A = this chain, B = another copy of it.
Amino acid sequence: MDYYSGQISRLIEELSRLPGIGSKSAARLAFHLIHMPVEEVERLADTMVDARKNVRYCRQCYTLTDQELCPICSNQERDQKTIMVVETTRDLAAYEKTGKYKGVYHVLHGAISPMIGVGPGDIKLKELIERLQGEVDEVIIATNSSLEGETTAMYISKLIKPAGIKVSRIASGVPVGGDLEYIDEVTLLRALEGRTQL
């Protein structure tokens, strides 16, 4: 791509490394950035670096946050005894968008997948078990309905049911193989209402 001069080529190359951005989109973005006011480009650049540096795991639920304790865990109006287990922060956001769930979350940051070598020790499962030492009414497992998500759900259920804690799984309103993040809110709510005890 040396028909663009050095700095433009470098920018296009850097941008095309991001997920979902091919070389055409990268060029389009690069030229857009070059025509933006310089202070807007600086603000975007600073926001990226700040977010990368300051965002960490919530010490209770392990969602990504810029605080010690995330806004959901520190909200006393939320039911702190009902824990919904999700794979990612984006899945948490999908349930938050429904505006109806009043409990808290636990973000695993992945799912058990022997195929790609992800075991129970590679996700935030130990941390979930530790949380269950406190007062907990119910654990709602909302992992994806993929093979990995179902495996993880079964694993968690077998692990914590002996402790006498109520464990449920969101209903199969969620289409099999679907990605939680892209499902409409009505389906998400139906799945929550129809959850079955494991």
Contacts and interface: CB of A to CB of B under 8 A. Distances in A.
Count identical subunits in the complex.
Answer: 2
B52 A34 contact: yes
A45 B45 CA distance: 5
Given A41-B49, A52-B33, A66 B25 contact: no
A51 B10 contact: yes
A5 B67 contact: yes
A44 B52 CA distance: 12
A89 B52 contact: no
A93 B51 contact: no
Contacts of A41: 48-49, 52
Nearest to A34: B55
A54 interface: yes
Contact of A5 (B10, B18, B49, B55): B55
B64 A5 contact: yes
Interface in A34-71: 34, 36, 38, 41-55, 64-67, 70-71
Nearest to A38: B52
B45 A48 contact: yes
B51 A34 contact: yes
A20 B31 contact: no
Given A5-B55, A11-B48, A41-B48, 20 more contacts: A1-B93, A2-B71, A3-B97, A4-B93, A5-B64, A7-B50, A7-B55, A18-B33, A19-B28, A19-B29, A20-B25, A20-B28, A24-B181, A31-B88, A31-B90, A33-B48, A34-B52, A38-B52, A45-B48, A45-B49
12 contacts: A5-B65, A7-B50, A11-B51, A14-B44, A19-B29, A20-B25, A28-B90, A30-B51, A31-B64, A31-B88, A31-B89, A41-B49
